Amino acid sequence: MLAESGRAVEVRFALPAPALAPFVTTFYCTEVNAAGPGGWMEDHLHPEWANLRFLAHAAAQQAIGAGALVPSPLVTLAGPTSRATRFRLAEGRAWGVGLLPAGWAALFGAQAGDYADRFVDALADPAFAALGPLAEELAATTGGFDAELAVVIRHVERLLEGAAPDPAITRLTAALVDPDLATVAELAERMGMTVRSLERLARRAFGFPPKLLIRRQRFLRSLAQYMLDPSLKWLTALDWQYHDQSHFVRDFKRFMGMSPSAYARLDKPLLSAAARARMKAVGQAMQGLHRPVGDLSAGAAA
C-alpha cells in the first residue's frame, strides 16, 4: 500500500492479490482533511475505466462532461468514461475500486456501453444489487484504513469467487495500452477478429467503439506525462501519434472539455496526489493505462 499526502488530502492505493489482479486495478482511499471554499475540494478526473465508489463517510458531487454538479449516490457506479468528470469532495473519507474491463464483464451482466459516460446509484440499479452487503458493512466499519480495506477486499473476493477473466477482453485491454497500436485495422488483426466483432466486444466490456478507445489511450498517455511533471511543456509530453500540437488540442477539448492551457491553470489537489501515489504503487499514473495481468496475446504489452 502506498500513499501520497498533503496537508489537505491523502490518497492511498492498495494492489489486489493475484487472484483479483485480472479484474481489479487498485483499491483506493481518498481522505480530505481540509476542504476549500464552500466546504469542498474540487478537481477534474480524466477518462477512466469503470469504478465503484463508496461515500458513506464523505459527501461528494459530480458531473460527467458539461452537466451540472449533482450529489453523488452513497454507492456510485461510474461506467467507463470518455469525458472529464468534474467532482467535489467534502471533508471525510471515500473508498473506490477500479475495475478493468474483465472485471466489469465478470461482475455485471450489463453492457458497459449502456453505462458509458454515466454514473448511477448502484443500490438502485438491479444490475449492481450484489454490491449491497459490501456497502452496508463498509458504512458500519469504524476501524480505520486497514479494517475498511479488509472489508472491501473480502467482499470483492466473494463476488469474484470462481470467476475467470475473458481471454479476449484481456487481450484487447493489453493491446489498447500498447503505445505502438495506432489503428483499428491493426487492432482487429492483432485480435484475429473482424472489425464488426471487435466493435461488439468493445461495446460489451469497454463501453466505446475501438476507434474512440485508441484515441482516448493516445490522449491519456500524453496527459499522464504532464500530470507527473507539470513543469513540462505540452509539446514535450505529446504521444508520438500526434501529428502536431493542434491535433492534441482537439483531442484535449474532446476529452477534458477545455483547452490544455485552461487545464494547466487549474488547481489539481486530488488528481496530482493520486497520480503520484498511483505511479509509485502500480507503475502507471492513470487507471486507463493500467496493464492487465494474464495477457494472452503474443504481441501486446505485458
Write down the domain spans for the chain: 2-159, 167-289
Cα dihedral sign, 287-111-148-25: negative
- Give the residue ranges of DSSP H helices in 192-266: 195-205, 210-228, 234-237, 245-256, 260-265
Under CATH, which architecture does the 2-159 domain have? Answer: Sandwich (2.60)
pLDDT band at 226 (very low <50, low <70, confident <90, very high): confident
Cα dihedral sign, 257-260-262-266: positive
Longest dimension (CA), the chain: 53
List pLDDT tens digits, range 232-262. 777 677 877 888 889 999 999 999 999 999 9
Q: Which fold has domain 167-289?
A: Arc Repressor Mutant, subunit A (1.10.10)
pLDDT band at 2 (very low <50, low <70, confident <90, very high): low
For residue 229, the one-letter residue type is: D
Cα 223 versus chain centre, distance: 14
Cell of 272: 496530482
Note the pTM of the prediction, 2 decimals: 0.91
